[in-house]
A = this chain, B = another copy of it.
Amino acid sequence: MKCSTCQAKAAIEIRRHNAAFCGPCFTAHLERQVQRTIESERMLDPGERVLVAVSGGKDSLCLWEILRRQGYETTGLHLDLGIDGYSPEGRKKTEAYAELHGLPLQVIEVRQETGFTIPELADRTRRPPCSGCGLSKRYLMNRAALEGGFPVLATGHNLDDVAAILLGNVLRWQVEQLSRMTPVRPASHPRLVKTVKPLIRVTEREAVAYCLLRVLDYHEDECPNAAGATLLLYKDIVNQIEAVSAGTKQAFYQEFVKKLQPRLAAGETFTLRECEVCGQATTREVCAYCRMMERARQKTVQRGRVTRTVLEVPPA
């Protein structure tokens, strides 16, 4: 198999594009594709300060590297989730990348910020870990972007991520969630920062190949909480279909954004206001993050009481 660009020996085949590339042509192709996505979806303006969410995994390092190479003024944002045996490694890789390229990096320790690590939060709120983690990340990243005066936050969601999330929302027809599934989420309230997903046309496999070819030292482990998560099942299912019909994964998400999402968004009207506790944007009196945190704190107090009561019972 030969490189579609330079006819050298190909290193990677991209079936859905009916193309193959050698190493150098592949990295150039991927960078061009991400830049085209950024331009066609009007994600970033030239010279705009971008806060990049970086876990230290393949997607976020691939994203930071491409934005850096394209000349965007980036600052990294790493959330240390406090997951034993997993979080330290991602933080180390992120810090190493920032140091190597002399890029600014902000690290937020979720435990210090909220009083709980992600596993503690899952335990106290009895939510699945991925649910509390996702909510915390969205909240803390938006707040960090606001406080840092960044007009835009970029995340490393790739095509496999958005296709799997779309499938999950479609299976139960979560219309509200579907109506928000766009490559760009505009700042629809003064307390919300615009968020963008420049990797929506890059698959997991392509992000890995890019990291290997650019020699980016990324954190390879999957989060231990994700094992058995339905999102992994949905990714697997989308890949089964892709194997039989190349291009379905990309068409599934892109056609959704083009044909369906606008119709759904037109039907969904909600008014955003400021959360009475924290002031962030919400549709309710108190935002989902503050409600979750309140439940987690109550549970901690209750447990404290139970312990004390047991201790106060005089021995029989």
**A→B interface (CB under 8 Å):** 170-173, 175, 230, 233, 237, 240-241, 244-245, 248, 251-252, 255-256, 258-260, 263-264, 267
Expressed in whole angstroms, the Cα–Cα distance for A241 and B244 within the complex equals 18
Main secondary structure of the interface of A (DSSP, over half): helix
Expressed in whole angstroms, the Cα–Cα distance for A173 and B181 within the complex equals 15
Q: Which of B170, B173, B233, B245 has a CB less than 8 Å from the CB of A230? A: B245
Q: Contact: A170 with B172, CB < 8 Å?
A: no
Q: List the B side residues contacting A170 at CB < 8 Å.
A: 170, 252
Expressed in whole angstroms, the Cα–Cα distance for A281 and B259 within the complex equals 27
Q: List the B side residues contacting A252 at CB < 8 Å.
A: 170-173
Q: Contact: A175 with B260, CB < 8 Å?
A: yes
> In angstroms, how far is the closest chain B Cβ from the Cβ of A253?
10
Q: Contact: B175 with A251, CB < 8 Å?
A: no
Give the residue name and chain of the B residue nearest to A244 (CB): B233
Q: Which of B237, B244, B260 has a CB less than 8 Å from the CB of A173? A: B260
Q: Contact: A171 with B240, CB < 8 Å?
A: no
Q: List the B side residues contacting A267 at CB < 8 Å.
A: 263
Expressed in whole angstroms, the Cα–Cα distance for A120 and B141 within the complex equals 61
Q: With A240-B233, A244-B233 as given contacts, are A259 and B173 in contact (CB-CB < 8 Å)?
A: yes
Expressed in whole angstroms, the Cα–Cα distance for A240 and B240 within the complex equals 11
Expressed in whole angstroms, the Cα–Cα distance for A108 and B46 within the complex equals 67
Q: List the B side residues contacting A245 at CB < 8 Å.
A: 230
Expressed in whole angstroms, the Cα–Cα distance for A230 and B248 within the complex equals 12
